[in-house]
Amino acid sequence: MKTISIQVSDKQHSLLTRLAAAEKRRLSDFNYLIYGNGLDMFFCERSVHVKKEPDEYTKEEKKQQAINKKVEKSKPRSDWEKHSWEYVSDYMYNYDKPEDEKDFVTLLAYEIENLAYKVPCMESKEKE
């Protein structure tokens, strides 16, 4: 795990701590909730795309990439689509998704929010 931190003034820290307490949260948990919600809200009407890392391709995309490589080596470009070649994007994006499919920013926000609900004493028991 990595840590993300920001510097705030004493007054800002005090206010954030009191906001967390008003929501019956520890400041550390409150930070996860705010960060997750903030990501989701920031990108709800803003389009973004980021290049995929190798582990971010789905099994289907990896399978299609293998098919594409074979077709690209053995057939002229004009015939690729006739031989099962399909475009595989190298980017993740948060727009033009089917209604029932969540985009990567929403999933990231959800994962970060869920970190607030992990109970530290339970984590050690889960590893045993």
pLDDT digits (tens, 9 = 90+) for 57-112: 999 999 999 999 999 999 999 999 999 999 999 999 998 877 777 899 999 999 99
Residue 16 has pLDDT above 80, yes or no: yes
Residue 44 vs residues 34, 50, 84, 111, 118: alpha-carbon distances, Å: 15, 16, 35, 16, 26
Residue 30 has pLDDT above 90, yes or no: yes
Residue 123 has pLDDT above 90, yes or no: no
**pTM for this structure?**
0.76
> What percentage of the chain has pLDDT greater than the value 90?
77
- Res. 119 pLDDT band, cuts 50 70 90: low
- Res. 124 pLDDT band, cuts 50 70 90: very low
Give Cβ neighbours of residue 83 (< 8 Å, ≥ 6 apart): 71, 75
Residue 57 vs residues 51, 52, 79, 81: alpha-carbon distances, Å: 11, 7, 25, 21
